[in-house]
Every structure is written in C-alpha cells, then in structure tokens.
Amino acid sequence: MAILGVDVGGTFTDAVLVEEGRIRTAKVPTAPRQEESVLAAARAVGADATELERFAHGTTVATNALLERRGARTAYVGNAGFEQLLHLRRQTRAHLYRLSAQHPEPLVPLERCFGVRGRLGPEGELEPLELDDLPELDGAEAVAVCLLFAFRDPSHERAVATELRRRHPGVHVVASHEVASEFREYERASTTTADAYLAPVTVRYLRALVAAAAEAGLPEPVVMLSSGGVLPAGEAAEHPARLLISGPAGGVVGAGLVTRGAGFEHAIAFDMGGTSTDVCLLPGGRAERVSEREIGGLPIRLPSVDVHTVGAGGGSLVRRDAGGALRVGPESAGADPGPACYGRGGGPTVTDANLLLGRLPEALPGGLVLDRDAAAAALAEIDPAAVVDVVNAEMLRALRVVSVERGHDPREFALVAYGGAGPLHACALAEELGMEAVLVPAAAGVLSALGLAAGDERRDRVVSHVRPLAAVDELPPDGEADLRYRGQSFELPVPLGSGLEERFHRAHEERYGYADRDREVELVAVRTADVARGPEVELPSGEPKRASGPALVELDGSTLWIPPGWEGVRDGFSWVVTRE
C-alpha cells in the first residue's frame, strides 16, 4: 500500500509518495485555487488511487486568509460591558521601543461587537442571562461568542450560541468553550474570533478538495493541524484556527523523523522555502509544543508546534532602502512571476544571487531552466554575496530565538536543513552558531510533504483548573500540567507524573534562576491528547557518497551547497555535513 503527502507552499506544491520502502517526489507551481495544485501534484508523483492507504495534506488557506484579511464578515458577542474586549486587548505595546507603533486592527470592527446581559463569576451565576437582549446580526457571515468564565461554566455561552443558531441558521456560530476552553478572556476571545472568521473560507476549500479528491478516486484527505497531528478533513474544518501553521508543522514532523533515523539526539529544524523560513527546536528528536502563539499580530490560544517564522526565503525580493542599505524580504516574488532567473519578468531575489554565485544548477526540478543573464540584469550592481549575507543574518536571528535566547546551546544540536533553499544556506548558519553537523535529507525539498505522510492522528484536550495543586485529587498519567506560583501571571508546562510539584520547582529554577518551595503552587490547566500513531514510514537508503567543499549536490527538489572547509557524507537517507 502507498501513502501520499501533499504540502501547499507559497511558491510550490510538493508531493511525496511512499510505497514499499521507496519514495517518489514531485513539485508543481502553486495555483490560486489550491485544490488544483494538490491534484496536479498527486498526478505528477504518479499516485495510483487504488493503492493509496492514506492521503495527507498541509494547507495555507487558513493562514493566507488571516494574514491577508480575506475571512468572513464576522460579528462578536460578549458580556454587556465587555463588548470592546477585542479592541481593548492587553496593555502591552505593539512594539516596546516604538511608541507610535500600532497593533493590527481586530478582525471585528466596533460596530459589529455586541453585548448580552447576564454574568457568571468564578463561583457561579451573578446575573441571569437575558437572551431577549441579543441584537440582530444583519449581514454577518460568522459570529464569535465569548463570555466571562465560560471556561469554567459554559451554560450561558451555550445558550447564547444555541439562540443565535436558531435565529440565523445560515450563519456560522462559534462559542469559545468549543474551541479554546481556557482562562484569559482576551486570548480566548481572539482565538474564537479567528476561528469564526476563517470558517467559511476554510470550509469551502476543504469541501472543494474532498470533492475533487473523490472525483479523482483519491481517499478523503487527512489534514495536518498546527499541533503536528492530522485529522480527517471534515473534522479539521470544524475549527480552522487549528490549521494556521499546517504546512510548517508537517515539516517539523518530517525533520524529527529524519533526526531520529540518522541517530542524532537533538536537532534544530531549519526550513527555508520560497517565501519564508521556519525554525523549531527538536529536543530528543521531537518538536516542542506551545499552547499559544501570535499569528498576524493576533494571539491564538491553541496547541501548536513551537515554530518561529521570518520572512526570508529563496523568493524574497532584494532592494535598497531610502538610505541605500540592502534589504531582503519580507516581500516575495512568489511562484508567478517568481525570481528574475525564471524568465517571467520577476524582480531580483535570493535565488538569483545563489545562481550567480554558482550554488544552483542550470535547471530546477520540473524542467525549469534558469536564466543567468536575467538574474544578473535584475541584481545589476548589487553584490550577490552581500544578498546572501543579509538573508543569512535574518535567519541567524531566528535560530538564536529558538536556541540561545531560551537557554539552549546550539553546539549541542544538529541543524536539519530542508525546503527548497535551506540546504544552500545551512552550513554558513551552522558555522556562525558553532554547530558541528548539518543533516540534509535526500528529499529535503519536499520534507514537509513527507512529514504529512507520517503524521499521527491527534486530538488535543485541555481542562482548566486555576486552583491550588494540593486541592486536585487526581490527574491523568500522561500529558502536561500548566503550573505557577500563586500570584504569578504566567505558568510553566511540566510533564504529568509523580513528583509533579518538585519537578515544577526545578523547572522554575532552571528557567528563572530561583525556586520558592514554601510558596503555594497553582494548577492552571491540564493538557492531554488522544494520539493514534501514524503509519511507519521506512526511509530508503541511498548509494553511499562523499563530497568535499566547495561542492554542489543536487537533491530531490533542493540543492545542497557544501562550502570550503566542510565535508558531506551520504549515509542512509540523509547527507551528514561536518566541518573538516
């Protein structure tokens, strides 16, 4: 039986077909209608619908809709007196040192934010709910409902959502306890609003994909979530905010698979594509997860792999600013027109610089012949080496964020480089960080698609407590507890198990430099997950090879550049590149 993974990126759509220990790969340009790209990639890789056991998919539809503000016309319903919660936010500045910097506009304008009378407190009802107080929501395509203390008692919120669904049967209604049943009302409201805002767009896409797959004879796709697990498309569509880093999560799963297969204990995933670069710490060969992240300046309080993203990719556009300084990105040439060397009239990019430096072959996968003259004309008097230095500096900052700034020594980690452009820049970045080894999978250009194929089916759950740990009688054997000292504003995740309180003290001391064992410990939440292991993916071993820098090694959908002073050895599925 075969397994198909298809990952849609900003520039290319990648496909991986795993069958009886063999891997076939393909890349096609991403089309405006993503479902067309998905089926084109499946055809390009030669997927036989009758032999497919699993069809896994990573999508950017939700991410693009949020970043480009192309979601549904959404209304917000909160408690009377708290209607403006999305606009009040927290008291933190948009930028610490830029007093005039503005927060992104909320997804719902003030005129579509409404209040309903009724109030719950931490111990029960303070004021009865008045459903007759609900406003009319003319013109709304989606509604987000977030009431105070709904994470503890959802009865008021459930009644409001039920009434809204009765009054407006064609409108998508999301209540906060259904998607993010946790305390901190602003983050819960932001997450619920994003989920409602994205639902119509994402549901239309996933329905179109399921229908197109059925017409092509493919099985119903499973979709990668931000948490690094997959769910059937119909279930994933219920709460599309869970899909916001679908593609990068697939890459992290693939990087972990490669790390463990090559025998490395710790690694940092480094995925440089056409539009952006994603980095993630892999202690023990598995991604760390966080319960909240910002996307487009909005807090999303849902489980996700701890990926840090910067706007630097092979297609990042090169320019000089008003002061004459060289800038790279975050704007991208995309798939069309693409870099100047594609010969379609695109602007100068990082890809053009790498081509002029001799770090790319004359033709890319898919038969695209690169035009050196067009690249040289686009860059004109800009030094290609300077372009690479600038984009490397941006990615270096991202790698330091997930390692040095969190107390990890990067010298103890290998750098797993993938994406279309990652292996071109990996050795230079590793050298700057003092890392000894770069791990480059043979399918580096399509590793995210491979991760999709191998992903576990995962359903995350959270139970809010916000009470003393000593008052909790029983906890699950597996999962994580969010703990803090009473009176603190933020919590630390600690694996469940025996000696939980003492392990929290040690974790606090490691993170903050002190522990207060005489202070009461508070349990904020318990996080668990129902996990069904994904299929076992056997990574094929290639012919042993060796190359000393400077050397150019062509891979499936990517190119490895080995600079002087480095040596690469193909051992098993991956190249291991080390300093001589």
Task: Note the pLDDT tens digit of each residue in 448-501.
Answer: 999 998 889 999 999 999 999 999 989 999 999 999 999 998 999 999 999 999
Predicted TM-score (pTM) of this structure: 0.88
- Which amino acid type is present at position 361? P
Beta strands in 301-396 (DSSP E): 304-305, 308-310, 316-320, 326-332, 363-364, 368-369
End-to-end CA distance of the chain: 42
User: Which of 415, 410, 422, 411 lies closest to 439, judged by CA?
Assistant: 415
* pLDDT of the residue at 108: 96
Q: Are 202 and 61 in contact (CB under 8 A)?
A: yes
The angle, 0 to 180 degrees and rounded to 10, between the axes of the packed helices 422-433 and 384-402 is: 60
* pLDDT of the residue at 485: 97
Beta carbons within 8 Å of 498's beta carbon, 6+ residues apart:
none
- CATH superfamily name and code, 2-66+203-247: ATPase, nucleotide binding domain (3.30.420.40)
* pLDDT of the residue at 337: 87
The C-alpha atoms of residue 242 and residue 230 are separated, in whole angstroms, by 10
Give the DSSP H or E segment for 112. Answer: none
Give the DSSP H or E segment for 502. Answer: helix 500-512
Residue limits of CATH 3.30.420.40 in the chain: 2-66+203-247
Q: Are 144 and 112 in contact (CB under 8 A)?
A: no
User: Which of 257, 415, 560 lies closest to 568, judged by CA?
Assistant: 560
The C-alpha atoms of residue 373 and residue 415 are separated, in whole angstroms, by 34
CA-based radius of gyration for the chain: 25
Strands 414-418 and 267-272, how do they pair? parallel
Q: Give the HSE-up count for residue 205: Cα atoms under 13 Å, Cβ half-sphere.
A: 29
Residue where the block lists tokens 């999508």: 59
Tokens of 44: 């390009």
* pLDDT of the residue at 493: 93
10-residue mean pLDDT profile of the chain (580 residues): values are: 86 85 84 88 83 89 88 96 93 84 92 95 92 87 96 95 94 96 94 96 93 90 94 93 91 93 92 89 90 90 91 89 88 84 92 94 78 94 94 94 89 93 95 94 90 91 93 92 94 94 94 92 95 86 87 87 94 87
Residue where the block lists tokens 């009688």: 473
